[in-house]
Amino acid sequence: MKDAQPKAIYLNDYREPDFRIDTTELTFALEEDSTLVSSKLVMQRNQNAENNAALVLHGQELELLSVSVDGKLLAPEQYEVGEETLTIATLPERFVLEIQNRIYPHKNTALEGLYRSGGMYCTQCEAEGFRRITYYLDRPDVMSVFTTHIIADAEKYPVMLSNGNLIDEQQLDGKRKVSWHDPHKKPAYLFALVAGDLLCSSDEFVTMSGRKVDLRIFVEPQNIDKTEYALDALKRSMRWDEEVYGREYDLDIFMIVAVDDFNMGAMENKGLNIFNSSCVLANPATATDAAYQRIEAIVAHEYFHNWSGNRVTCRDWFQLSLKEGFTVFRDASFSADMHSATVKRIEDANIMRTVQFAEDGGPMAHPVQPDSFIEISNFYTVTIYEKGAEVVGMIRKILGTEGFRKGSDLYFERHDGQAVTIYDFVAAMEDANGVDLTLFKRWYKQAGTPRVSAESVYDAAAQTLTLTLRQMCPDTPGQTGKLPMWIPVQLGLIGGDGQDMAVNVEPASAWTADSQVLHLTEAEQTFVFHGVTEQPVLSLFRDFSAPVKVECEQSNEELLFLLQNDSDGFNRWDAGQRLMLNWIRSAADSQFELTDDARNAFASLLADESLDPAMVSYLLTLPSEAYIAEFSDVVDPAAIHKARKAVQLALAESLQAEFIACYQRLRSDASYQPVAADMAARSLKNLALSYWVKADASGLQQAERQYTAADNMTDQMAALVATVNSGDRAQAQTLLDRFYAQWSGDALVVNQWLSVQAGSAEMGTADYIRSLLQHPAFDWRNPNKVRSVIGAFANQALVHFHATDGSGYELLADAVLRLNEANPQIASRLLGPLTKWKRLVPAQSQLMKAQLERIMAQGNLSKDVYEVVSKSLI
């Protein structure tokens, strides 16, 4: 940390840039230990900005060699080099600025800017990494047309890539020079460069207007057999975006590069997406179904950014959700179309409830459009991404699918080539539909998870149901006294026959009959349903229609009824989760027995072959410990762990025969295909195995048979996980050793092996984690490995992370301090679990706080870590 106290940046301070950069020409000479960067910027003053303002360029850790304006070298007194700036005071209206500087990619461990991963060069510029490459106006509202030349050893770096189309190639004694030109203007955060000895898989796509696009995936040679699925997912994404949003690709080539050292999942650089190898590489033997689905979703997400993010970008980083929320919403709809919409909704609600609600209830709570930040990298959060997507989803619920499409068409047409705000997006939705979303916009400005409570009274004589809904949103750091939001409540009233009743609602203006949505817009509102011929069972917030916490008294019998009868698949699952939560609460003394009704209901779900197996698998999955914690007032991880285990055992034992039958029914000898129906069957089969293993020793034997026979990672990994979690330590170790012996040469598989152990309640104690950190497979410089061990431990092995001696917290704090300087982004991300300290039982809470204080007491905190720790300690 350079300043004594890093300063916050405020949305309210936004003003237009003083200068524009019309064109950017970059030359990279990749030398043995350093890289020489030459940039030529054709610039002009922004007519809307202050006259005669000085030009202040961003730059970090750059070795400046020369600056010239209009061909004339500037003397050192004609510019000023600050810690993170280069200032030139006197400049004409229009000018050409040329800068030369040197950078050291080999020493770059932060993985921001230009760095080395394995034997190759790659870049990561979002949000503010470009300033580590050269001095520039590194802000998203400065958009420029880029030309990039790369000069490097022809043998070591046969592949040299940048954004746009390849325009030239030359041999220069021993070196090669390639030139790329991107005709679409873009902010610097979308710049990318790759150089390495890579192989590529190619395909092509013909766009809706008949243009041919080359598709290429570049990988290190050993991974060339892992590109097929991503190419397939890419083509499906391209077609889907044409069909569903009318968006066509706009360059002659689209490239993806897989790199091993990457801070997040992937990056949507124009025409040259760079991916964490774990989010793009797959073959049946090495990748699980879950990995296949993640790859499909991320390939789609990055591709969709080409319009929602690149063609139309963000004015400033407070608008991050403009591109991220919308693009997550788009990739979620794509995944819903590729697999099961209900299952996708369940997965998304699960993330909202376990991770986003926790963020909203903690010290880093922020609105979808934040007001301030210290370090923007800390704001790539579940709130910006997932809650942002939920907010877009609510707009679609309000406008309907057609109205929403009209709005997105207008948005893309109106703002193509611009850097805009979240409210420009909302305005397009309003203008295309003639609606006023003023009230709705509070979703963007108010942090915190709204609570909605429901009370109903049935009048048999009048055949009416009177429903009173109340909403309130708790205070969050810096925000008190929140105003009511516009909450779409999709609902149904279910009769004794299990069917939805046809109803009329008063006031009619608050009800959209087509979509069964009730519009709650005030703190308290009463609605009267007419034509209610019998006492109904209420099904509220179907399809997770708003990201809120619902308080609605319903008995276990009613929940069981909903689980069996609701026409809304999401609410069947939700009722089951609420029921299981009730069970877990009642099993606090570690004793639990299923009622006959419950047993029979779950047994018939398991046997019902007409249901989607992926859905049944979720219906029978207990809420995770993190989920249970989020639904507890005071979190006691040890008690949660014990109670959940008791319920799990009761389910396993009382449904043992059904689980075995289900497992046997879904076993298949057909060869592995990564297609939706097969994935769904495998998910239920492997869930059944996990229960079988808990119930009886024969399950463990079956797990070993499955492990040995498996021709794919999904089945192999499921058998391994079931065995590790069985509690039979000897058998777990046998399979773990066999697994490592088989896969030690494949880094991505080894990472899965690390995280199975680190995230397991049976294995992942702090001592065990410390031994994994010494394993030759571990490497602190590789973010995937850090996540596989430390991340899995702190986020999944909750009972050990929260060990009563504080050893888990100490381990996490040690890791944060170790990475603070080397890779601040990863250090800061690891902190998440510690920030929840106020929610824990007092003894744990104090231990957690003590570790945060220990971190705070270290002198040299990065902005990233400082922001999270200091806000957590308020």
Q: Which stretch binds Zn ion (CB under 5 A): 54-62, 319-327, 599-607, 812-820?
A: 319-327
Contact between residue 689 and residue 706 where contact means Cβ atoms under 8 Å apart: yes
- What does 331 interact with, of ligand B3K, Zn ion, none (CB < 5 to 8 A by kind)? none
126, 220, 302, 390: which one is catalytic? 302
Residue 377, contacted partner among Zn ion, ligand B3K, none, CB below 5-8 A by kind: ligand B3K
Cis amide prior to 233 (ω within 30 degrees): no
Nearer to Zn ion, 57 or 298 (CB): 298
Residues touching Zn ion, count (CB under 5 A):
2
**Strand 419-420 and strand 313-314: pairing?**
parallel
d(CA 785, CA 762): 20
Rounded Cα distance, 100 and 320, in Å: 31
Least distance from C-beta 372 to Zn ion, angstroms? 22
Tokens for 221, please give them.
Answer: 């040679």
Which residue stretch of 236-244, 317-325, 399-407, 587-595 sits at the interface with Zn ion (rule: CB under 5 A)?
317-325
Q: Distance between CA 546 and CA 544 in Å, rounded?
A: 6
By a kind-dependent CB cut-off of 5 to 8 A, residue 864 interacts, out of ligand B3K, Zn ion, none, with none
Q: Which is nearer to ligand B3K, 230 or 758 (CB)?
A: 230
Give CA–CA dist 391/387, Å, rounded. 6
User: Measured from the CB of residue 324, what is the shortest distance to ligand B3K in angstroms?
Assistant: 5
Pairing status of strand 94-103 against strand 487-490: unpaired
Options 120-128, 320-328, 473-481, 822-830: segment touching Zn ion (CB under 5 A): 320-328
- Give the whole-angstrom CA distance, residue 400 versus residue 393: 10
Picked from ligand B3K, Zn ion, none, the partner binding residue 267 (CB below 5 to 8 A depending on kind) is ligand B3K
Query: Is 302 known to be catalytic?
Result: yes
Show the 3-state SS of 524-538. Answer: EEEEEEECCCCCCEE
Window 326-355: contact mask with Zn ion (x via CB under 5 A): -x----------------------------
- Distance, in Å, from the CA atom of 409 to the CA atom of 303, rounded to the nearest integer, reads 18
Q: Please tell me the distance from the alpha carbon of residue 669 to that of residue 679, in angstroms, as a whole number.
A: 14
Q: What are the CA-CA distances from residue 515 to residues 111, 181, 341, 401 (Å)?
A: 46, 47, 16, 11
Q: Is 425 helix (H, G, I), strand (E, B) or coil?
A: helix
Using Cβ positions, the residue closest to ligand B3K within the complex turns out to be 126
Residue nearer to ligand B3K on the CB measure, 59 or 325: 325
- What does the block give as tokens for 633? 């007032």
Considering beta carbons, is residue 380 or 778 the nearer one to ligand B3K?
A: 380
3-state secondary structure of 145: strand
Residue 109 CA to residue 824 CA, distance in Å, equals: 9
Instruction: Identify what 707 binds: ligand B3K, Zn ion, none; CB under 5 to 8 Å per kind.
Output: none
Query: What's the closest the beta carbon of residue 779 comes to ligand B3K, in angstroms?
Result: 21
Residue 380: name its binding partner from Zn ion, ligand B3K, none (Cβ under 5 to 8 Å by kind).
Answer: ligand B3K
268: helix, coil or strand? Answer: coil
Is 327 or 421 the residue whose CB approaches ligand B3K more closely? Answer: 327
Provide, rounded to whole angstroms, the least separation between the CB of residue 128 and ligand B3K.
9
Residue 125 or 503 having the CB closest to ligand B3K = 125
Residues of this chain that interact with ligand B3K (CB under 6 A) are: 126-127, 264, 266-268, 301-302, 305, 324, 377, 380
Nearer to Zn ion, 245 or 740 (CB): 245
536's tokens: 């109904």
Taking the complex as a whole, the smallest distance from the CB of residue 308 to ligand B3K amounts, in Å, to 10
99 contact partners, CB below 8 Å, separation of at least 6: 38, 39, 41, 64, 66, 67, 86, 134, 135
Distances (CA, A) of 743 to 87, 260, 513, 713, 747: 53, 17, 55, 11, 8
Nearer to Zn ion, 286 or 313 (CB): 313
Residue 131, helix vs strand vs coil: helix
Least CB distance to ligand B3K at residue 416 (A):
20
Report strand pairing: 159-162 vs 193-196: antiparallel
The CA-based dihedral angle spanning residues 522, 528, 532, 535, taken in that order and rounded to the nearest 10 degrees? 70
State the DSSP string of 453-516. Answer: EEEEEEETTTTEEEEEEEEE---BTTB-SPPPP-EEEE-EEE-TTSPBPP-EEESGGGEETTTT
- Give which of ligand B3K, Zn ion, none residue 130 binds (C-beta under 5 to 8 Å, depending on kind): none
Q: Residue 559 binds what, of Zn ion, ligand B3K, none (CB under 5 to 8 Å, by partner type)?
A: none
- At its nearest, how many Å lie between ligand B3K and the CB of residue 305? 6
Q: Find the shortest distance in angstroms from Cβ 267 to ligand B3K.
A: 5
Nearer to Zn ion, 351 or 657 (CB): 351
Residue 360 contact among Zn ion, ligand B3K, none, beta carbon within 5 to 8 Å by kind = none
User: In the complex, what is the shortest distance from the CB of residue 265 to ligand B3K, in angstroms, rounded to a whole number?
Assistant: 6
- List, by residue number, the catalytic residues: 302
For Zn ion, the binding residues (CB under 5 A) are 324, 327
